[in-house]
Structure 1
Amino acid sequence: MPKISVIVPVYNVENYIEKCIESILSQTYTDFELLLINDGSSDKSGSICDAYMSKDQRIRVFHKKNAGVSMARNWGIKHSLGDWICFVDSDDWVENSYLEKFIENKELDGYTMVSQGIMYDFVSRTNENFPFFIYPDKICHEVEFTDIFAKYRLLHNGCPYAKLYNKNLLERYSIYFNPSISTHEDHLFVLTYLLHCKKIILSSSISYHYMIRNTLSLSTKFHSSEELVEVSKLLIEKIIQCRNKYHFSQKCFNSAVSAFGLRQLLVAAQNSNQNNYHNIFAVLRDKKEWFVNHFVAKSLTNSLFLVLLFSHVPDCFLYWLIRLQRNLKRLS
């Protein structure tokens, strides 16, 4: 039985999947299995995965009907054989120390999460990259969580990759990715896992390379206003649960709620249309107390919109402003 299961959801990445697989097979730590979950790819991704499986017995390939990345990752979790689970996206790659840096610590137990930093690589800008989420080498027990959640911004790191999860803990508390949403489902997964952790091991290793190939990232793709309202609700609920358990500072709480829960509502307003803007603006007005007490404004545009919204400016005028802003963005 392998010690680690590496789960890679695969969908139409024929130009990138080979580099991803090769980087995993080149690991200095070799006691792992690689699960390639082909999520209904229409290109050569599936056949590339099969070719690698025929050459390396550590690889298992699953071909399934397209159902999204959450279902693919959940499939991998349910079919994994390892004691520990980590994720790699199929268009990214990892350095050969990726797994070794997870497993080298002797204090791993069934209530642990290990977290490394991430390197953002910009493909369109030659040799330009920067590290994201930089940590020291540190073992943090539950009694320290109050301080480290704020110090290392752990609530903000919702990336599912560059982390090691205990499979028994995932199964015991039925921690899976939510397939009903297509944004921040990974963040909710990480926050749920944190709620059941008793130890967090931070690693100074930055061996995961997140490839940014164009300006359209997951964070900028269009999501319906209704979905974003639901995502905001789920994120706020989960952040509240974390605060109630670990009692971190109000500043830490406000920062997380602003960046994720309340920001989703602002994006919902920006993505509203002629058929739903009245309902979406009403949702934001119902959250007035949250915005007043917890929101940390990052832009003058958002601040002005909220002032007008809570001043009961007619919805039709607010919607006209949003459309104007969208048109100006397109022109720029």
Structure 2
Amino acid sequence: MKKCAAAPLVSVIVPVYNVEKYLPRCLDSLFNQTYENLEILLVDDGSADSSGEICDGYAAKDNRIRVFHIPNGGVSNARNLALDNMAGDYVTFVDSDDWLNDEWVKIAIDDMCAKEADLFISNIVRVSDCSRDQWLSWETFDDCITNIDFLKRSFKNNFACWAIWGKLWKRKYWENVRFNCDLVMDEDLDVFWHKLVKQVDRVSYNSEAEYNYFAREGSAVTIASNKHYLDLYRVEDSVLADNKWHGDLELERLVHGHFFIHKFILLCQLSLLDGNDRFVEAEQKRMRRGIGDRLVAAYAYRGIKGMFIALLTYFPGKLWGIFEVWRNEKDIEAVFNFLKVKVLDKS
């Protein structure tokens, strides 16, 4: 089994914004890594709480930590700054409310070197204040798989494979790649699909490396707004438009089915917010074209349930919000209230 000739430097990039309650847990998990040749880049993105001071406190006791204090510009801007300043041969990203098990970097480096991989994927556990669920848990790969096999395996298991965290990358893949600072959501999918995964040939995975993803109220993925939903919709639409580069029909259908269904849900969400009627109506018409291909793709991704959702696009557009109301509240009274506001009060 091949080993790294020397212990390569690993850059760990952590964007930080108003996470004083959770930041010490994240930084302790980096401080306690059994693999020691790290540089830890903390980018304090204009925090209004004590997060910046916490970063400085950790840097004072560990010379591997570098802290950048910048005006608030968003997570993409913070990550880009760290990418511009990193010195590592490998790079990984950790969100400031998440944490790693103590062996994470060592397992990742050893696995990549032994299998001559371009990209390492770790086990992912989704943690909330009241639950702990295995989000990604496969059998450890004996050897690498291709980027296409990784994507197919991910979509079949409904795993958001495009998250930037929970992975170790060779530096070379980021030399000319940066995040789009105009996006507030799906910036990971945008850079992963369009710029990164096409370059990667060999993907390794080891279930002993565990990334703990903390799902908390108030994080970017739990805050709903027009901008959030529109960013999600447009990035996912761009993925569908760029879904033939891999030349694999099975993957094409899995990707098509996943994002077609998710775009339907996003349009339902947008229909509940003011000012979106024209956009939603135009997209509804577009989604109804080529229904045969969409049914095949939806079935490949989610079976009969996927086909049913695809057929729902023929339901009257102004009532699409019903599905989102029911999905969130499971309450018939909430559905009637939606109908009253959306239909009766406007008729």
1:232, 1:265 within 8 Å by CA — same for their partners in 2? no
Partner Cα separation in structure 1 for residue 288 and residue 114 of structure 2:
45
1:154-173 superposed matches below 5 A? 156-171=160-175
State the shift of 1:24 in Å. 0.4
1:83, 1:166 within 8 Å by CA — same for their partners in 2? yes
Q: TM-score, normalised to structure 2's length?
A: 0.79
Partner Cα separation in structure 1 for residue 34 and residue 79 of structure 2:
24
Task: Give 2:258's aligned residue.
Answer: 259
Partner Cα separation in structure 2 for residue 290 and residue 87 of structure 1:
39
1:93, 1:208 within 8 Å by CA — same for their partners in 2? yes
Partner Cα separation in structure 1 for residue 168 and residue 283 of structure 2:
37
1:268-307 superposed matches below 5 A? 268-272=267-271, 273-289=273-289, 292-294=292-294, 295-296=297-298, 298=305, 302-303=309-310, 305-307=312-314
Match of 1:258, as an amino acid?
Answer: G
Match of 1:180, as an amino acid?
Answer: D
Q: Tell me if 1:38 matches 2:41.
A: no
Q: C-alpha root-mean-square deviation of aligned residues, in Å?
A: 3.1
Query: Relative to 1, partners in 2 of residues 1:100 and 1:320: Cα closer, same or farther, differing over 3 Å?
Result: closer
Query: Relative to 1, partners in 2 of residues 1:266 and 1:33: Cα closer, same or farther, differing over 3 Å?
Result: same
Query: Relative to 1, partners in 2 of residues 1:148 and 1:21: Cα closer, same or farther, differing over 3 Å?
Result: closer
1:27, 1:97 within 8 Å by CA — same for their partners in 2? yes
Partner Cα separation in structure 1 for residue 83 and residue 21 of structure 2:
25
Of 95, 98, 105, the residue aligned with 2:104 is 98
Task: Give 1:72's aligned residue.
Answer: 78
Task: Give 1:211's aligned residue.
Answer: 214
Partner Cα separation in structure 1 for residue 62 and residue 230 of structure 2:
45
2:150, 2:203 within 8 Å by CA — same for their partners in 1? no
1:146, 1:249 within 8 Å by CA — same for their partners in 2? no
Match of 1:62, as an amino acid?
Answer: F
Which segments of 5 or more consecutive residues in structure 1 lack a partner in the other structure?
310-314
Query: Relative to 1, partners in 2 of residues 1:307 and 1:77: Cα closer, same or farther, differing over 3 Å?
Result: same
SS in 2 for 1:28: coil
Partner Cα separation in structure 2 for residue 275 and residue 130 of structure 1:
37
Report the identity percentage. 27
State the shift of 1:279 in Å. 2.6
SS in 2 for 1:207: strand
Q: Tell me if 1:27 matches 2:27.
A: no
Query: Relative to 1, partners in 2 of residues 1:88 and 1:319: Cα closer, same or farther, differing over 3 Å?
Result: closer
Query: Relative to 1, partners in 2 of residues 1:253 and 1:49: Cα closer, same or farther, differing over 3 Å?
Result: same
Task: Give 2:87's aligned residue.
Answer: 81
Q: Tell me if 1:132 matches 2:135.
A: yes
2:11, 2:92 within 8 Å by CA — same for their partners in 1? yes
Match of 1:253, as an amino acid?
Answer: E
Task: Give 1:312's aligned residue.
Answer: none
Match of 2:319, as an amino acid?
Answer: L
Query: Relative to 1, partners in 2 of residues 1:217 and 1:35: Cα closer, same or farther, differing over 3 Å?
Result: closer
Number of residue equivalences: 312
1:2, 1:81 within 8 Å by CA — same for their partners in 2? no
| Deviations 1:37-66 (CA, angstroms, capped at 9, x unpaired) | 101100000011011111110000001111
Of 32, 54, 68, the residue aligned with 2:60 is 54
SS in 1 for 2:28: helix
